Amino acid sequence: MTKALYPGTFDPITLGHIDIIERAVNLFDEVTIAIATSEAKITIFSLEERIEQIENIFKGNKKVSVIGFSGLVVDLAKREGVNILIRGLRAVSDFEYEFQLANMNRAMSPDIESVFLTPKAKFSFLSSTLVREIASMGGELSAFVDPTVEKALKNRFKD
């Protein structure tokens, strides 16, 4: 059985992230979405809220599980018995950072492989940062996030 880990902050999860997860599920037997807590990042949703949102989105898919974590992703991968990390690439601008991250992870844990997946072209511009900004200004979100997340964002940014 081939298991993969898709780590990220997912604050919020976008349709681009969902597209990457759906692609990963076609490649691997099991995909664990690992939601990171970070002292460096201030999130709009708590870890518990992000876990709940993603569990709701994938509730019918037995190949997808969701966990929260803090610390190094390579340590989490070892604990989970996973040696494949899924990473999304939207544009060339993502490549340099992701390449550096993959090499650093490999230096810390040589048995871990990073697999890069690209979303559909219509999601290639999409980021959680842009979605948060649009939500904070009361913009239309339905083309960027799942309805569950859209509702949560609207509630978070009520006047």
Give me the active site residues, please.
17, 41, 90, 128
Return the biggest CA–CA distance within the chain: 49
Structure tokens at 59: 């509730």
Neighbouring C-beta atoms of residue 20, cutoff 10 Å? 26
6 contacts 24 by C-beta, under 8 angstroms: yes
3-state helix vs strand vs coil in the chain, percent to 5? 45, 20, 35
Block residue for tokens 């966990």: 67
Residue 103 backbone phi and psi in degrees, to 5: -70, -35
- The dihedral of CA 135, 141, 147, 149: what is its sign? negative
